[in-house]
Copies of this chain bind each other. A is one copy, B any other.
Amino acid sequence: MTSASTPVIGPSRCNCAALRKASRRMSQFYDSVLAPCGLKSTQYAMLTEIARQGAAPPTIRELAEVLVMDQSTIGQNLRPLEREGLVALVQDEADRRSRRITLTKVGRSRFAAAEPLWRVAQERFEGGFGRRAAADLRAVLGTIARDPSLADAGEGSLR
């Protein structure tokens, strides 16, 4: 009898696959907790970063860099938020190529409403995983996210 009830996720040796599986599971979890406020984990992460900048609204490029995303991805992902009036893109007067991403009043309100839910997700996860373990894991993940040798691996052969 194949154990259909408890499938072993598997001792895959692939660092990338391991990271992606965990990332999908974690996203499932945060998405399910955030669902009542109508924001996905990606949207919450973007709003967090935009709110954190506060006085100096980031450009698409800056936001992409911080969130380890592609510029086009940011542009696409901003569309639903813009459509719902949570963010507004205003052309930078100094450099008119750039558009700075600002939180609207509605955006700040929706973000504030989402924050308690995010805290619930944080508490629930760290309650099981360990607060210290979570902090350690975030630190390790941060070194990976910022590692320039991973980021620039495919840059040289293109230009």
Contacts and interface: CB of A to CB of B under 8 A. Distances in A.
A152 to B, nearest CB: 9
Given A16-B26, A145-B18, A68 B9 contact: yes
A28 B151 contact: yes
A29 B144 CA distance: 11
Given A16-B26, A48-B14, A52-B9, A68 B128 contact: no
Nearest to A11: B142
B28 A150 contact: yes
Interface of A: 2, 7-33, 35, 41-42, 45, 48-49, 52, 54, 56, 62, 65-69, 118, 121-122, 124-126, 128-129, 133-134, 137-138, 140-142, 144-147, 149-151, 153-154
Given A28-B154, A129-B144, 12 more contacts: A12-B138, A14-B122, A15-B138, A16-B29, A18-B138, A19-B23, A19-B27, A21-B68, A22-B145, A26-B144, A35-B154, A128-B149
